[in-house]
Chains A and B, each alone.
Chain A
Amino acid sequence: MKIEELSALEVSFNRLIESLLIKKAENEQFTVRLSSEISQFTRFNHAKVRQTGCVADGWIELTLMKDQRNSVRQFPFTGNWEVDWQLAYTALQELRDELILLPIDPYLVLPSGNNTSREIHSGNLLAAEAVVPTVLELVAGLDFTGIYAGGVVIKAYGDSSGQKHWFATDSFTLDYSLFSPSEQAVKGTFAGSDWDESAYIAKISEGKKQLELLARPVKELPRGQYKTYFAPAAVADLLLMLSWGAVSEADIQQGNSALAALSRQEKQLSPKFSLKENFQRGLVPRFNELGEIAAPELPVIEKGHLVNTLVNSRTAKEYQKIANGANGSETLRAPEVSPGNLEFEQILPSLDTGLYVSNLHYLNWSDRHTGRITGMTRYACFWVENGEIIAPIENLRFDESLYRFWGENLIDLTTFQEFIPEVGTYESRQLGGSLVPGMLVKDFTYTL
């Protein structure tokens, strides 16, 4: 999006807040959230284009609060003032009519404070017409599949107490797979704000080398426990489970958390495992749904001990805790797992005999309250003997507790970390990602 178009949207958003402030009654409070994007989505299969298009979308979420009651309206935001204001004013009136009918919410949190922020991250993305030739010319002859998603994403906030935030970023992700004739695959992600042709060439070259390893006959392994190296992308998948019924203070209080035993100090993880929220990379907004700003860093697990859960202001009010700027769902937004002592060159010698797992797939709690997770290996996973890659494996199902693989069975984490970008596009293009090392684990349980 051109800078002048971006600027027009910001002007329109600010005008919306100002107009709502004028219309607001004395005993009313409101918050306004904006999510907007103009995205190029090009989908590939067999190094051809399957679908290609552009989506211009944007919506406002207006929350009105009065007399300890609240309700929300979400409606389109187009940048056309007449259209947008009509929708906003209609929503305001509907909310007023509805609030008097609703029960009292004792844990309602009103916006407060005077936080403001404005971040604009410009990029140098491929022009729309250049995406297809630029991506595909390099992979001609390969079985290349995936999606390019790129463009501007805006997240903004304003409220009746005067807080205001604007976060706009130009970014792209190329999320792809290279398949071998035997349907084994190498996974790759290439992301950033500037398209770097030489970096893309290097990524594809790296993928081609891995494809050679995948050409070997596939080894089928019996179920059992295997020493396993998890590459950073696989660690990131395991880490994402902590945002689904684990690190949330509300989940702990309400009996929904896999980390309840850790919280009660009945169990602990390995002293080698530390996790924090780290917003210092600037890839995601630090403000939440109430305009509160999270600290640049928040330790969550330190040397195996749960030192902080994610607490939003509503949870804090309900359970008499101290809020730490968490979002409404108390999920990790900028997670980082600390590195360990395993050098890159020592990964295969330290693994010796076992599994090299590059990626995981379709994780779910199999028994949340004991921290047990099931899922599948996927993409470029190998059998290793005597420190040497022998063969790709048939995919295996695992079922294992985080109290074991991040606890007594964690051998070490790598000295290096990788940034695994968030490539999700449900509702809108997601931002950010996880900064994680690889990890070596003993006796990891594979069941099918």
Chain B
Amino acid sequence: MWSELRKTIASFDIPADWIGIRAVKETSTTRLVRDALPQVNGKSFTVGAMLEVLVNGCLGYAATNSLELSSLQAAAQTAYNQALAASEWWIHPFRESERPKVVGEYKSPFIESLDSLSPGEINDLLVRICQTLKVDDKIVQTIASASTTEKESWFVSSNGSEVYQKILSIGTHYGVTAQDGAIVQQRSNNGSQANCYQGGLELLQQENLWHRVRQIGEQAVELLTAEECPTTRTNLVLAPDQMMLQIHESVGHPIEIDRILGDERNYAGGSFVNKNDFGNLVYGSPLMNITFDPTVPGEFASYGFDDTGAVATKEYLVKEGVLQRGLGSLESQVRAGVAGVACARASSWNRPAIDRMANLNLEPLNGTFEDIIAGIEHGVYMESNRSWSIDDRRYKFQFGCEYAKLIENGKLTKTLRNPNYRATTPEFWHSLIKVGDATNWQMYGTPYCGKGEPNQAISVGHGSPVCVFANVEVFGGGV
């Protein structure tokens, strides 16, 4: 691919200040079994290139799914025309320094290759998971799925960049629906599609898989006769699989610099954070330490370079409760005058890069899970997201979970169903009173972070320990 792309760049006859080509080749498989019967078996393959051209400070792009030289040349001309047509109205005069020369490569770690099991063997495993999930006649639906992705990208530019990245990733999901008359409850392994990691097929059968599968089935049945989550204000303990969503929605999105600059206002919204808040805003309690870290081995959104060639490094976004820097690419940094990270990413070859989260993690402090629960007189412990909604400034939110336990006098007691909580972002993060240690730090991910115009769904990873928030409004379901 390298020699073709180098030749392609050299062949362009365009008076541009800078030209870049990002070619992407991606193969994904999806296998889904419901009630032990196959529903989806498939593989998708996409290949194409995104061409960007800088002309008089304006960037234009053109994307094509044909890698033939003539198609790439035509795309470069289209990108040039786009930049030229917008030149009088461009929002910021960009320079080549926002596309620095970079050379390097990144490859996901893995043990077993993505074809080390046949489609039949993967289906067999999913069927067995469905069968094991059905622990009771009240289980009316079982579901299990596995997806794999191999994504290769090549980035070359007229100023000498050459970046190759190969990312292998796996997502697994299983869950059940239990029903007793009009009462219906769903339970899954850490919420919908939350088990997403970089790696090989060794990730299909995680440690204690079968114990966990049975537990999911049993907990769904348990929820049918559980009490509704009470309506009260109390200590809220969130498991890492819910902290994932909490960090994503109420920390990640509000500190994206393109949102703060207003790019997203028509779609995903703006932010309650403004440019002057970086370095000053006390975002939460002193226990809050959030990092942008694309270097964690195996986390879902790890990489070596972003899609404009910026080198990815670990950075503190919030340190001891104070907002340090934003989630902003080189373009956003120069527009806003705010420190950012290597986060310009695109969902594929057919979308331009925008500010994205990658891995966003809450750093562990101290306290085992048992210690944390033992220290609470009254509270509610919640696991696994099932409902999420937050306003366009990322301020007022309401989230729901699949499974909860009442905490009474330092012990987990009754199971609670339909647990929900709501708050405002600053109030919530200031109420953080305990952060668990490395023994309960877990990482999850999702391929469905939506953002951008045109829209892009992208992979993100989030790690966190168990956390305790004081005096939070919790409530149950029903009308």
Contact = CB atoms under 8 A, between A and B. Distances in A.
B400 A366 contact: yes
Given A51-B59, A51-B61, A101 B392 contact: no
Contact of A74 (B43, B123, B177, B396): B43
Contacts of B2: none
Interface residues of A, number: 92
Interface in B413-457: 418, 420, 422, 424, 450, 453-457
B45 interface: yes
Interface residues of B, number: 86
A365 interface: yes
B65 A101 contact: no
Interface stretch (A13-21, A227-235, A254-262, A433-441): A254-262
A376 B82 contact: no
Contacts of B45: 73-76, 87
A55 B63 contact: yes
Contact of A41 (B119, B262, B454): B454
Among A52, A73, A370, the most chain B Cβ lie within 10 Å of the Cβ of A52
Interface string B263-283: 101110110000000000000
Contacts of A397: 389, 391, 396, 398, 422
Given A45-B91, A376-B389, A424 B38 contact: no
Contacts of A129: 81, 84-85
Contacts of A149: 454
A255 B43 contact: no
B210 interface: no
Contacts of B352: 51, 53
A376 B396 contact: yes
B124 to A, nearest CB: 8
Contact of B390 (A50, A73, A362): A362
Contacts of A43: 263, 453
A196 interface: no
B20 interface: no
A105 B454 contact: no
B106 interface: no
Contacts of B38: 69, 102-105
A94 interface: yes
Contacts of A365: 387
Contact of B392 (A45, A254, A378): A378
A367 B350 CA distance: 36
Interface string B356-373: 000000000000000000
Interface in A156-211: 175-177, 179, 183, 185, 187
Contacts of A77: 65
A55 B387 contact: no
A308 interface: no
A72 B182 contact: no
A376 B422 CA distance: 13
B89 A136 contact: yes
Given A41-B453, A56-B63, A426-B457, A255 B141 contact: yes
A70 B39 CA distance: 9
Contact of B398 (A371, A395, A448): A448
A187 B387 CA distance: 26
Given A132-B86, A397-B422, A426-B455, A56 B141 contact: no
B182 A70 contact: no
A37 to B, nearest CB: 10
A374 B398 contact: yes
Nearest to A256: B177
A50 B265 CA distance: 12
Given A54-B62, A102-B38, A403-B479, A395 B86 contact: no
Contacts of A107: 37
A59 B262 CA distance: 33
A265 interface: no
A372 B83 contact: no
Contact of A366 (B58, B390, B392, B420): B420
Nearest to A266: B182
B112 interface: no
Nearest to A373: B389
Interface in A248-299: 254-256, 260-261, 264, 266
Contacts of B478: 367, 370, 372
Contacts of B63: 53-57
Contacts of A103: 37-38, 120, 123-124, 127
A33 interface: no
B118 A376 contact: no
B47 A76 contact: yes
Contacts of B119: 71, 98, 101-102
B40 interface: yes
Contact of A76 (B41, B48, B60): B48
A404 B81 contact: no
A361 B391 contact: yes
B43 to A, nearest CB: 6
A125 interface: no
B226 to A, nearest CB: 14
Nearest to B123: A103
Contacts of B297: none
Interface of A: 39, 41-43, 45-59, 69-78, 80, 83, 87, 94, 98, 101-107, 128-129, 131-133, 136, 145-147, 149, 175-177, 179, 183, 185, 187, 254-256, 260-261, 264, 266, 361-367, 369-372, 374-376, 378, 395, 397, 399, 401, 403-404, 424-426, 429, 447-448
23 contacts: A41-B453, A47-B89, A53-B62, A53-B63, A53-B79, A54-B63, A56-B65, A58-B65, A71-B42, A72-B44, A74-B44, A75-B46, A129-B84, A145-B262, A149-B454, A175-B266, A366-B420, A376-B389, A378-B391, A397-B396, A426-B457, A447-B398, A448-B424
Closest 4 CB pairs of A and B: A101-B120, A53-B61, A72-B42, A367-B477
Given A51-B59, A372-B477, 7 more contacts: A55-B454, A59-B46, A98-B119, A254-B34, A255-B141, A255-B178, A404-B479
